[in-house]
Amino acid sequence: MANYNPKSLKAEEFINDGEILETLRYAEENKNNAELIDEILEKARPRKTEQGCVCSGLSHREASVLLACDIPEKVEKIKEIAEEIKQAFYGNRIVMFAPLYLSNYCVNGCVYCPYHMKNRDIPRKKLTQEEVRNEVIALQDMGHKRLAIEAGEDPVNNPIEYILECIKTIYSVNHKNGAIRRVNVNIAATTVENYRKLKDAGIGTYILFQETYHKESYLKLHPTGPKHDYDYHTEAMDRAMEGGIDDVGLGVLFGLEMYKYEFAGLIMHAEHLEAVHGVGPHTISVPRIKRACDIDPSVFDNSIPDDTFEKIIACIRLAVPYTGMIISTRESEEVRGRALNLGISQISGASRTSVGGYTDTERPHDTEQFDVSDQRTLDEVVRWLMECGHIPSFCTACYREGRTGDRFMALCKNGQILNCCHPNALMTLTEYLVDYASEETKKIGFKLIDEELKKIPKDKVRQIAESNINDIKNSNRRDFRF
């Protein structure tokens, strides 16, 4: 049996089944241990220092105790601290993005995914470069600046060259004042050489969901195709980092396995990246299984209710305070609204999960990857966020200024976010309002920006931001950034 070793590069050693089971036993044993829980909560709380605000995060064992605890007042405390951490490091900014589905050809047999090879009911489609261009124009015309590209795994139909060509096309399109300034990539696990090519193509985050950390279940849920190889899939982030990609995004598909097991695995994966590469994951996503063509989510008997889902989000926030968290339109407006206060820092808006979906006037369902719960337009989502007290941000500055990996974390840790991310959010929101928003959204937005400008601590930075915002309003100059 493999021993636990967070520094190992072997999947079974850094995601160690024995250690997870021991963690779950420890968490169960201590879930009512109020003294220990208070100690863990105290450790998780953000502290002010001369350099700014700092947080220690939690180990997978500590975080698992919190997740197991169901003493109502302690659960409330977990949520309160999650909100404090969110405010301390991310403020009220929410980064916006949209997925772009390139191809649903796939050679895998993932039993929860409609792209699985045996599904004869889903029409297979792969965008041509002309179609990619049209999709990008449609996304730019909504106001999007940041995309996550998605594709099934198929070495013949979607080889790395196809993905690279699509990235090039996406970055080349500038419709009116539009631009896609950051392309994140969610494609199957691949080789160091291919990760290097993605890095050279200028991608932002490489995202790969583990789906489940439980090896036995993983093998059953991925019965055929290259994705069946648990170790190759689990070790993908190490290869991505070896290929030069600094920002990687983890995730679990909640509903497949027992959530406590997945949670411990997820935090152990983050600890492993920190131990080996000196930097944890840039983001963590929290997808839950949804209905889709040939997929009935009720056959997976580990579905989690909304309150547990919210607790998971809050516990991730406490465990890895410097990691961004993403929630997609798989979730409804209500769930997304509550999750935003518990630590989510990025959301998708107006997503279409079908290949070619953005150029169709009606939302097409035939090639959808999953049912979208939140079907509002981007303008509606932006307005709603502002009405709830958040600042929608279309900022992509960090990676374009070379602030990736540990350099981004340093910005987070040294409290410079209010002098950097905050003005960037306000300037990119101004671009959105001027170029794309409805009159009502503009009215709410400009008022919010005036208020929020006052919060920039450095006079010089505030003056520059004000002047740039005036330029955006009165000219076609765009893309200012700190």
| Residues found near ligand SAM in the complex (CB under 6 A) | 112-113, 150, 152-153, 186-188, 208-209, 211, 227, 253, 287, 289-290, 292, 295, 330, 369-370
Q: Which is nearer to ligand SAM, 19 or 368 (CB)?
A: 368
Direct distance between the N- and C-terminal alpha carbons of the chain, in angstroms, rounded to an integer: 51
Q: Which is nearer to ligand SAM, 145 or 330 (CB)?
A: 330
Which DSSP string corresponds to 374-418? Answer: ----HHHHHHHHHHTT-EEE---HHHHTT--HHHHHHHHHTTTHH
What b/e readout covers 226-237, taking b as 16+ CB neighbours within 10 angstroms?
bbbebebbbbbb
* Overall residue count recorded for the chain in this entry: 482
Instruction: Report in angstroms how near the CB of residue 75 gets to ligand SAM at its nearest.
Output: 26
Q: Which is nearer to ligand SAM, 104 or 428 (CB)?
A: 104
Instruction: Report in angstroms how near the CB of residue 227 gets to ligand SAM at its nearest.
Output: 6
Instruction: Report in angstroms how near the CB of residue 151 gets to ligand SAM at its nearest.
Output: 6
Instruction: Report in angstroms how near the CB of residue 37 gets to ligand SAM at its nearest.
Output: 31
Instruction: Tell me which amino acid residue 373 is.
Output: S
DSSP type of residue 50: T
Q: Which is nearer to ligand SAM, 59 or 303 (CB)?
A: 303
For 366, the token pair is: 């035939």
Instruction: Report in angstroms how near the CB of residue 154 gets to ligand SAM at its nearest.
Output: 9
Instruction: Report in angstroms how near the CB of residue 52 gets to ligand SAM at its nearest.
Output: 35
Instruction: Please say whether the beta carbons of 90 and 392 come within 8 A.
Output: no
Give the separation between CA 167 and CA 133, rounded to whole angstroms.
10
Q: Which is nearer to ligand SAM, 52 or 297 (CB)?
A: 297
Q: Which is nearer to ligand SAM, 112 or 322 (CB)?
A: 112
Give the separation between CA 39 and CA 461, rounded to whole angstroms.
39
Alpha helices (runs of H) in 7-114, residue ranges in sequence order = 11-14, 17-30, 34-44, 60-68, 72-90
Instruction: Report in angstroms how near the CB of residue 369 gets to ligand SAM at its nearest.
Output: 5
Q: Which is nearer to ligand SAM, 27 or 208 (CB)?
A: 208
- Number of helices and strands in the chain (H, E): 20, 11
Instruction: Report in angstroms how near the CB of residue 317 gets to ligand SAM at its nearest.
Output: 21
DSSP type of residue 331: S
Q: Which is nearer to ligand SAM, 62 or 150 (CB)?
A: 150
- Looking only at the bridges linking them, the beta strands covering 52-54 and 93-103 are unpaired
Instruction: Report in angstroms how near the CB of residue 213 gets to ligand SAM at its nearest.
Output: 13
Instruction: Report in angstroms how near the CB of residue 327 gets to ligand SAM at its nearest.
Output: 12
What value, to the nearest 5°, has the Cα angle with vertex 189 and ends 109 and 343?
100
Instruction: Tell me which amino acid residue 225 is.
Output: G
Q: Which is nearer to ligand SAM, 292 or 429 (CB)?
A: 292
Q: Which is nearer to ligand SAM, 153 or 452 (CB)?
A: 153
Which DSSP string corresponds to 429-463? Answer: HHHHHHHH--HHHHHHHHHHHHHHHTT-S-HHHHH
Q: Which is nearer to ligand SAM, 351 or 369 (CB)?
A: 369
147's enclosing H/E stretch is: strand 146-151
For 10, the token pair is: 């072997």
Beta bridge partners of 295: 292
Instruction: Report in angstroms how near the CB of residue 88 gets to ligand SAM at its nearest.
Output: 30
What Cα–Cα distance (Å) separates residue 218 from each residue in 229, 253, 256?
9, 11, 9
Name 180's Cβ contacts closer than 8 Å, sequence gap at least 6: 136, 139, 140, 144, 145, 146, 147, 170, 171, 173
